[in-house]
Structure 1
């Protein structure tokens, strides 16, 4: 029986073994890797695999961390509004958010950026509603004027 496995990306550290440190014959290699079956990876896609450093062995240990994915109990439907693209700061803020996230997993980045956009949209619509309310108040003040 063949099991399909995926190699886990190592986020921190390039080498897992070394020999003759401090000499001209110093050698460093990446001997150790992390692997996961597709079924494991589908259950735990948000991880960080890193090389730890030790002074008691020529092999460096690997540490597998899992990212906690928070889900909201409050259910809402996210809708992207094309009008946001007309806002001068929107595209730059989304680009900055995307660039600031570590390159761990595409789905993780998409979830984080979509949460950011949803928060941005709520702020935008709050400001938009306040602006509409203010403009209506201006119209109400002007509606009965008789001057040009």
Structure 2
């Protein structure tokens, strides 16, 4: 494993543990050259899932895109990265359980919003405003009304 700080190739594992969902192993490593620590994640390499985007194009499923969207929605909220990783893991597992080679991006967005609405309403509204591309204040208000009715 190459050190992200000095690019030295050798490191030692300092701590290793499974994530909450037991789908990934988190390892804390220490570089044998510069002694800085960094984290790596190990997971089973599964068959790729293709995402059908709104414009009809296709791309490989990328869990980092979901995580980045969640990080933006949860900015300045008291939500830990582990909670967001948990959402990403749950979304990915739900998609893989559908046993489909291709999934529409809208399905993924709805699944993410389902989990996010249970975690934090403000983050949910932020995510929904970008995902659903609210065109005006009325569309935004209708989404808020749905949230308040639940």
TM-score, normalised to structure 2, is 0.27
Larger Rg: 1
TM-score, normalised to structure 1, is 0.27
